[in-house]
Amino acid sequence: MENLQSVPDLIETALATSVTFESSIAGVQSQSSAHTEEHLAGYVGLELLAIDTFSLFEARMQHHFKRGPFSKKLRALLVDAGQADLADRVYQYYLAINVLKHGNGASYRELRDAPNALFAVKPTENARSGEDAAPSGLVDVGVPGFFAGLAKTLLEAHQFLEKR
């Protein structure tokens, strides 16, 4: 049996991969405002990478909790430990990942109505739904810093859980 890559290594690898998608998005944006296939592919790739990274983090760190919703338990543990800022960031990324996976729903409404959202949430009428639609879904993963913020948050949460 081969050794599994550590959680920090997985996150760092994903962060390095995200640069390719972000470059694709930025390169297309600087050339034209039209939403080309390359532009859309960059957004979709970044969305999938964010979902996969968060899901792998959750799966690898689940052993810290007996049962129940991992992100909600992590949030409560962080708040109890006086880490309210990290708890808020983890929870907002959890909501964003849910929106990327499931679309409009309770997570979308909670994120949309958050007074201090970390990133752009788009109105449902602007969501990608066809060939001529906007290049991203309900959460704009293409804004500078989205993926880096996700990676930083997950690394901090990992460090917190491993020190417990």
Domain contains 1 = no
Question: How many folded domains does the chain comprise?
Answer: 1
Across 61-70, 99-108, 136-145, 153-162, which has the greatest mean pLDDT? 153-162
Residue 139, phi-psi category: left (phi > 0), alpha (psi -120 to 50), beta (remainder) = beta
Range of the domain at 89: 7-163
Query: pTM for the complete prediction?
Result: 0.86
CB 28 within 8 A of CB 38: yes
Q: What is the 3-state secondary structure (H, E, C) of 16-31?
A: HHHHHHHHHHHHHHHH
Q: pLDDT (tens digit, 9 = 90+) per residue, 3-46?
A: 688 999 999 999 999 999 998 888 755 555 555 777 788 899 99
Report the pLDDT averaged over residues 95-108.
Answer: 92
124 within domain boundaries: yes
Q: Say if CB 141 and CB 147 are below 8 A apart.
A: yes
Predicted pLDDT of residue 45:
94
